[in-house]
Amino acid sequence: MKKIINEPDRFVDEMIEGILLAHPDLVKTPGTDPRVLVRADAPLAGRVGILTGGGSGHLPLFKGYVGMGLCSGVAIGNVFSSPSSQQIFEATKAISGGAGVLYLYGNYGGDVFNFDLAGDLAELEDIPTQTVVGRDDVASQPNERKTDRRGVAGIFFAYKAAGAAAERGDTLEEVAAIAEDVVEHTATMGVGLSPTIFPTTGAKSFDLPEGEMEIGIGIHGEPGIHRGPLETADAIADRLVTALIADLDLTAGDRVAVLVNGLGATPLEELYVLYRRVHQILTGLNISIAKKYVGEYATSLEMAGASISFLKVNDARLALLQAPAKSPFFEEV
């Protein structure tokens, strides 16, 4: 294992320290716990706070999306493990501006457990909360059980839309409804080429023989739906896009936002090779691309691979995507 780290056990805290030192104008630690990060101007009086959180190892998810027009705060766990309910509760208090707090995070058991507990603690402090979980990974469950799906890169769309709604002063119910609407119209599928190496143990997140790929693999190495010899970029794009079109039931005349996401070790060049094919397929089907994002939006440390996410847009969703936002890892002007 070759990594640029110091003490493996200090990896997460030193990474957070680095973010704070690099972006003091955008984010801060409100209390004594370094695992709670909020936007520098939090709390915003009268505005809904949006809290996300989850394990480390996925930058820019989750910490990278704390800022204007996005999330108000984040509770940070160890690599691939949930933050504690107390950390989530501390973050809730730090971003509460009197209009309630939306919990918006990926659908994983540990995170659901701790966010729910924190919601109870928040209720005791008279801070109303609502919860929307990202659940866009098409490969993790069939369409009939889509509410059980895992959350992956597509949660970015929900951050962007809900964040814009909170920024303009929508109520908690309205912000939650917007997040839910976006989640409902988002689908993602990924491909893995090589695993993540855990910094503390040196263990791999999954095993994949040389020359093979796995379609539908999760961002913690959860098993996918197809394993086989590595294919060309175009063939991979065909597989992923076909699944997403079917899942979202897209037809000619529909509009989508496209996110081609790198999982950590795959170069931007290859993401653009993928995007090229995605663009060709959609244009060929007369589905228009209203907004596009290409880069690293949700990673799995040094996992090689990529994911493609679609959000089916209408005028309302598109306007929220286009609203201004600024965080350490994302900016829309």
Task: State which of residues 125, 148, 173, 249 lies at the interface with another protein (CB under 8 A).
Answer: 125
The vertex-90 CA angle with 88 and 92, nearest 5°, equals: 70
Q: Name the residue nearer to another protein (CB basis): 117 or 225.
A: 117
Question: Is residue 123 close enough to count as binding another protein by CB under 8 A?
Answer: yes
C-alpha span between 139 and 217 (Å, rounded): 8
Q: Name the residue nearer to another protein (CB basis): 69 or 119.
A: 119
* Structure tokens belonging to residue 46: 């009268």
Q: Out of 58, 185, 226, 279, which one is annotated catalytic?
A: 58
Task: State which of residues 21, 45, 124, 252 lies at the interface with another protein (CB under 8 A).
Answer: 124
C-alpha span between 82 and 100 (Å, rounded): 22
The set of long-range contacts for 3-6, using a CB threshold of 8 Å and a minimum separation of 24, is 3/197, 3/199, 5/199
Q: Name the residue nearer to another protein (CB basis): 203 or 316.
A: 203
Question: Is residue 120 close enough to count as binding another protein by CB under 8 A?
Answer: yes
Minimum separation from the CB atom of position 113 to another protein (A): 7
Q: Name the residue nearer to another protein (CB basis): 84 or 140.
A: 84
Minimum separation from the CB atom of position 119 to another protein (A): 8
Nearest to 105 by CA among 118, 93, 123: 118
At 18 the three-state DSSP class reads helix
Q: Is residue 220 flagged as an active site residue?
A: yes
Question: Which burial class, exposed, middle or buried, applies to 218 when counting CB atoms under 10 A from its CB (0-12, 13-18, 19+)?
Answer: buried
- Stretches 64-72, 119-127, 170-178, 293-301: which one binds another protein (CB under 8 A)? 119-127
C-alpha span between 42 and 306 (Å, rounded): 34
* φ and ψ at residue 241, rounded to 5 degrees: -65, -40
Contacts with another protein: how many residues (CB under 8 A)?
15
Question: Is residue 116 close enough to count as binding another protein by CB under 8 A?
Answer: yes
- Stretches 111-119, 144-152, 271-279, 321-329: which one binds another protein (CB under 8 A)? 111-119
Question: Is residue 272 close enough to count as binding another protein by CB under 8 A?
Answer: no
Q: Out of 185, 220, 226, 279, which one is annotated catalytic?
A: 220
8 A C-beta contact, residue 38 and residue 72: yes
Interaction with another protein in 127-146: which residues (CB under 8 A)?
none
Q: Name the residue nearer to another protein (CB basis): 86 or 322.
A: 86
Contact letters for another protein, residues 89-108 (x by CB under 8 A): x-------------------
C-alpha span between 215 and 244 (Å, rounded): 13
Task: State which of residues 99, 118, 179, 290 lies at the interface with another protein (CB under 8 A).
Answer: 118
Interaction with another protein in 172-231: which residues (CB under 8 A)?
none
| ω into 60 cis (within 30 of 0) | yes
* Structure tokens belonging to residue 183: 């989640």
C-alpha span between 24 and 62 (Å, rounded): 17
Q: Is residue 58 flagged as an active site residue?
A: yes
Interaction with another protein in 60-89: which residues (CB under 8 A)?
84-86, 89
The β-bridge partners of 292 are 258
Q: Name the residue nearer to another protein (CB basis): 89 or 105.
A: 89
Residue at 331: amino acid letter = E
Nearest to 79 by CA among 179, 5, 169, 183: 5
Question: Is residue 148 close enough to count as binding another protein by CB under 8 A?
Answer: no
8 A C-beta contact, residue 76 and residue 86: no
Q: Name the residue nearer to another protein (CB basis): 112 or 323.
A: 112
Per DSSP, 63 falls in state G
Q: Where does this chain bind another protein (CB under 8 A)? A: 84-86, 89, 109, 113-114, 116-118, 120-121, 123-125
Q: Which residues are catalytic?
A: 58, 220
